[in-house]
């Protein structure tokens, strides 16, 4: 037993702490840079603790770019993608979990296959369609496009959760007098809430972090989400590191706050997946 304890401490010191530092390092640099002036950022050697910490970046960043609008658009993207994935993905996953129909297995494989294609492969074709429909600079279109790429994965996740709910519970509800839809809403969804929360958080974070489609379909400053708006701090000749890091930190705080709120449910959801 003592040997095991000793080994555990050794692993922690040799592996755990260095890995933690590697993972946390970018975040530490981001926080540190957000309190520096541009001159101090450019200094060599770099400093981790700002010599003259300043809050000016936190004031300036709201004026240089329409940061409030970017926050709003990112939020709309997150909410929009979550809404679409839930509305489309939940019934699809339920049907795949509960019904046996011709083509079910090939369809499940097809869902997997679509995940092999990164969005960049099809972006040109999608762009031409969006242009032809006159739907550039439209947050809803970005949300729908992003959702269409995440939907397959979310359906796969939800199929696993729904399959774990004994079908007898819904059948009992139907025998008691409920419809199939009623049984799904009153029985399956409440019993699979860890999975729904996990998928919801994934969908929101996917929308919040959405970059490629926003960059491609949106040119109007006021319509850009945070990911694209902050990108404007990177110009051909200079990178406004202090503003970029400040904006990124503000964006991260929201994501972290959301995660902290649902962390418990998310952990339970992930545990439930692993048990299945």
Partner 1 sequence: MSVVVCKDLVKRFGATVAVDHVNVEIQDGEFMVFVGPSGCGKTTTLRMIGGLETVTSGDIFIDGVRVNNLAPRHRDIAMVFQNYALYPHYKVFDNIAYPLRLRKRPKAEIEERVNTVARMLGVQHLLDRWPRQLSGGERQRVALGRAIVRNPKLYLMDEPLSNLDAKLRVQMRREIIHLQRNLGTTTIYVTHDQVEAMTMGDRIMVMRAGKVQQIGAPEVLYNHPANLFVAQFIGSPAMNAFRGRLETDDGKIVVATEFGRFPVGDPLVARLKPERSATLGAREVICGIRSEDISLDDAPVTPATPQAQVDLVEGLGADAYVSLTIGSTTLIARTPADCPPAENQLVTIHLNPNKLHLFDPITEETLLTLP
Residues that bind partner 1 (CB under 8 A): 166, 168-169, 171-180, 182, 187, 190-191
Residue closer to partner 1 (CB basis): 101 or 237: 101
Shortest distance in whole angstroms from residue 175 CB to partner 1: 4
Residue 151: which of 77, 216, 87 has the closest Cα? 87
Shortest distance in whole angstroms from residue 161 CB to partner 1: 15
Query: For residue 25, what are its two tokens?
Result: 């390092």
Residue closer to partner 1 (CB basis): 106 or 166: 166
Shortest distance in whole angstroms from residue 168 CB to partner 1: 4
Residue closer to partner 1 (CB basis): 72 or 180: 180
Burial class (CB in 10 A: 0-12, 13-18, 19+), 80: buried
Query: For residue 82, what are its two tokens?
Result: 């979550």
Shortest distance in whole angstroms from residue 101 CB to partner 1: 12
Q: How far apart are CA 211 and CA 216, in angstroms?
A: 9
Q: Is 134 left (phi over 0), alpha (psi -120 to 50) or beta?
A: left
Q: How far apart are CA 214 and CA 234, in angstroms?
A: 16
Residue closer to partner 1 (CB basis): 169 or 205: 169
Shortest distance in whole angstroms from residue 155 CB to partner 1: 24
CB 84 within 8 A of CB 154: no
The string of DSSP letters for 193-238 reads: HHHHHHHHHHHHHHHHT--HHHHHH---GGG--HHHHHHTTB-SS-
Residue closer to partner 1 (CB basis): 60 or 178: 178
């Amino acid at each position: 037993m003592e040997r095991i304890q000793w080994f555990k401490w050794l692993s922690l010191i040799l592996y755990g702490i260095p890995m933690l530092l590697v993972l946390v390092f970018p975040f530490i640099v981001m926080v540190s840079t957000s309190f520096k002036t541009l001159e101090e950022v450019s200094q060599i050697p770099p400093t981790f603790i700002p010599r003259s910490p300043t809050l000016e970046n936190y004031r300036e960043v709201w004026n240089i770019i329409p940061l409030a609008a970017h926050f709003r658009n990112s939020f709309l993207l997150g909410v929009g993608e979550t809404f679409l994935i839930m509305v489309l993905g939940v019934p699809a996953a339920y049907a795949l979990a509960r019904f046996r129909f011709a083509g079910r297995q090939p369809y499940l494989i097809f869902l997997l296959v679509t995940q092999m294609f990164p969005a960049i492969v099809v972006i040109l074709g999608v762009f031409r369609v969006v242009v032809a429909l006159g739907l550039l600079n439209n947050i809803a279109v970005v949300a729908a496009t992003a959702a269409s790429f995440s939907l397959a994965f979310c359906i796969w996740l939800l199929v696993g959760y729904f399959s774990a709910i004994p079908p007898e519970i819904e059948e009992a509800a139907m025998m008691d007098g409920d419809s199939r839809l009623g049984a799904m809403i009153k029985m399956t969804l409440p019993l699979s809430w860890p999975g729904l929360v996990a998928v919801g958080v994934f969908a929101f974070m996917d929308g919040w972090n959405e970059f490629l489609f926003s960059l491609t379909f949106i040119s109007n400053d006021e319509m850009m989400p945070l990911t694209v708006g902050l990108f404007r701090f990177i110009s051909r000749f200079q990178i406004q590191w202090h503003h970029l890091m400040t904006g990124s930190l503000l964006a991260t705080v929201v994501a972290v706050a959301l995660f902290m709120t649902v962390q418990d449910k998310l952990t339970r959801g992930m545990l439930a997946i692993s048990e299945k």
